[in-house]
Amino acid sequence: MDKVGTGILAENANWKFSGDVHENFDEHIEKSVPLYTQAHDLGAKIADFFLADGSLAYDLGCSTASFVARLAARNRNKQVRIVGTDSIAEMVAAAREKCASFPNVSIECQNILDMELETCDFVSSFYTIQFIRPTNRQLVFNRVYSALNWGGGFLWFEKVRANDARFQDMMSQLYADFKFEQGFDAAEILGKARSLKGVLEPFSTQGNLDLAKRAGFVDVLSVFKYICWEGFLAIK
């Protein structure tokens, strides 16, 4: 087992979100993903354009429900139903505890690939689709597109690969610098990279846009970018 930071251990090519990862997950991801909290803040503000009384919103791969809780707090005065989904039982338990004060929120323990989405107005996914095997990734976009009402929005954030080797090398080094600045040491950075082999498979910016367009989305915009992290908004 390798140390990957914030008290989390992981095996080579076998990163998992189960076990006791949920106990340190919020701290770990805030230190691992640049502008993580700001991305959530942006996502909640973007949702304003899609959510009204009677709306349904989904957050796919909600982990401990940090974004779900933020979205619910922002929409306290609307009759909006919010569903967070995650396939890890420990994450679901933590998410339900975090959202216990929001009666309009439900957290479901389901794999994205197995669930049927109800008709909805907004779907979000933060750094989740990158963990779905490439062979199954298009299915997620197809299901989201089918579930959205006309004019509904799909917001997703991902780690992205650069469009050529030189840029990729630059982005990788800049990201390593970021992690050093957050207090991770070399062994932890290497341990996390080893654990993610074959588990996290980022697509390029164009690869993400292609997934959306194949699903049927025509209007797609990049709304966030920092080093190798990007957020996209698609409107049906």
Model confidence at 16: pLDDT above 80: no
**Is residue 5 one of the residues assigned to a domain?**
no
Sort strands 2-5 and 8-10 into parallel, antiparallel or unpaired: antiparallel
**Is residue 181 one of the residues assigned to a domain?**
no
Decide: helix, strand or coil at residue 151.
strand
Model confidence at 13: pLDDT above 80: no
**Is residue 81 one of the residues assigned to a domain?**
yes
- Stronger pLDDT, 97 or 11, i.e. the higher one: 97
pLDDT, position 15: 74
pLDDT, position 17: 80
pLDDT, position 94: 96
pLDDT, position 55: 98
**Is residue 188 one of the residues assigned to a domain?**
no
> In 49-68, which positions are buried (b, 16+ CB within 10 angstroms) versus exposed (e)?
ebbeeebbbbbbbbbbbbbb
Close Cβ partners of 161 (under 8 Å, ≥ 6 residues apart): 168, 202, 203, 204, 207, 228
- Stronger pLDDT, 112 or 72, i.e. the higher one: 72
| Confidence band, pLDDT 50/70/90 cuts, at residue 1 | confident
Q: Which DSSP symbol is given to 127?
A: S
The domain containing residue 118 runs over which residues? 35-167+197-235
* Domain count within the chain: 1
> Using one digit for the tens of pLDDT, what is the confidence trace for 139-149?
999 999 999 99
Burial class (CB in 10 A: 0-12, 13-18, 19+), 101: exposed
**Is residue 28 one of the residues assigned to a domain?**
no
CATH number at residue 64: 3.40.50.150
pLDDT, position 12: 82
Q: Name which of 91, 87, 52, 48 is nearest 71 in CA terms.
A: 48
Q: Which amino acid is at 219?
A: D
Q: Name which of 14, 41, 9, 53 is nearest 194 in CA terms.
A: 14
Model confidence at 36: pLDDT above 80: yes
| Confidence band, pLDDT 50/70/90 cuts, at residue 81 | very high
**Is residue 42 one of the residues assigned to a domain?**
yes
Model confidence at 157: pLDDT above 90: yes
Q: What is the pTM assigned to this prediction?
A: 0.95
3-state helix, strand, coil in the chain (%, to 5): 45, 25, 30
**Is residue 191 one of the residues assigned to a domain?**
no
pLDDT, position 163: 93
> Using one digit for the tens of pLDDT, what is the confidence trace for 114-129?
999 999 999 999 999 9
Mean pLDDT of the 192-207 span: 93
d(CA 195, CA 92): 23
Rg, Å, the chain Cα set: 17
